[in-house]
Structure 1
Amino acid sequence: MIQSMTGFGKSISQIPNKKITVELKSLNSKNFDLNARIPSQYREKELELRTLISNSLGRGKVDLSIFVEYTGEQTSTNVNTEVVKAYMEQLKKLVDTSDVELLKMAVKMPDALKTEREEIDEEEFKAIEEAVQNALKEINNFRNDEGEALEKDLKLRIHNIQELLKQVIEMDPERVEAVRERLRKGIDEIKEQVDENRFEQELVYYIEKFDITEEKVRLENHLDYFLKTINSSESNGRKLAFISQEIGREINTIGSKSNFAPMQQLVVQMKDELEKIKEQILNVL
């Protein structure tokens, strides 16, 4: 079963005096690309979190957000009392107003508030790690659900191409006869007497040049291989993209060789289905 690269996961962990919320969002990308928005006190653990997320998600453009809400009396930011008093004394010399207004102005000045750097303890990081693990479970479940929908759509598109290929195969004898008649008509129009044996030889050469037998066989094999791959445990977006390129190559060759309008119309429909497949594969892990 394939997995999508699109997903979202969220987890909340409660520890003494703090509520920690972890959010993970992923979109499609060729490689693993993590954008981490986390409080400064957790930066020293960022590499460990990156490794944890990379091992779980594999590929994708991933946004990690960690929000911390203080739920107790403890806070990492305090009023720098001496600085605020000094600002108020200076402001008194400039404006004649109440102490309340002076305080409002003073606390907005630089260094009025001081933030003490918190050291993260192992128990706290364990809670964060657990929250990340839970968010990863959610995002992977989301990716699996998306992958199931992608798989159904891809199989439908491959089935459509297979049906169109059957019509191409059924139409091929009619195409060959149409080529034969077109050549014969061309000869008749120029009113030239031709040697029948030579004409048949040239006709065989011409038809062989536009023969699509090999392309039909290879296209059938590529379509079967695509379905076999998508049902295997080794299925991934890169491999499916490569197979779809091979499918496109055979479809293009059939189109260039067909020289028959009804068959070219079927080829256009196959190309349309293949483009939809390629768009979907961009989101497959």
Structure 2
Amino acid sequence: MQRILLFLYSIRAFLLFIILEAIAIWLIVSYNSPQGAVFFNSSNSFTGSFLNAKDGFTSYFTLGSTNEDLAAKNAELMAKLASYTPKKDSATFELDSVLSSNYEFRSAKVINNSINLQTNQITLNKGAKDGIKEGMGVFNGEGIVGRVKGVSKNFASVISLLHTDLLISSKIKTKNEIGSTQWDGRDPQFAKLKYVPRHVEVSKGDTVVTSGYNAVFPEGLLVGTIEEVNKGTETNYLDITIKLATSFNKLTYVYLVENNMEAELDSLQEISTSINEQ
């Protein structure tokens, strides 16, 4: 303590100078309007810059939870939109019950993803305890991502669209022509649209969407756009290359869709198959 006092005593002249300078500045700012305005504007600017930097710094560490909350909210809104039923027409026509939505939506974060294999898979941070089930369709704001293959309590594995064994029932939007999207194991930006007959007029840039003909995806989800069309001679189908809408190397948050009528549809298909086999 004595050393501190001795140090302060040794710089007493400097301290007195600082105190007098502070008093002088206070007097100038307080009794001179132009100088006061400059001082307060400068201090406000400095304080605002500091607080803005502080806010940006703290916000950075909350981006993860914020994005997750937004993804969950989007899934909730999609479910509400899908279940929305327009008001009855004034002519008293009843809406058919089959027009009501059968889909539920959930959100999840991608924690592992591969794009350089022939059979790529994706891992999500949610599982059975969050309502995730095998067979659910997976997509994001850009387009189709894949289909849930396996589920544990806390995680789910997804067969990526970049998997040579996965086929997605699709259609050319302007033509309503049905086909199947399948990755050929080459470029992760492109896939093939198969089983479109050769007589169909297809143009580069045509949009390809989900057909709604299976129980996985609703109709109209974006798959990609047609990049190239060739009329081969070996088959009755066009050789169509589509540019996928989804950027698989940038996957972060995805949505999962469940068809509540899938079990009923599957049972009907099994009955139809057994009748045809007899």
Verify same fold: TM over 0.5.
Answer: no
Higher relative contact order (CA 8 A, sep 6+): 1
The structure with the largest helix share of the pair is 1
The structure with the largest strand share of the pair is 2
TM-score bin (small chain): under 0.3
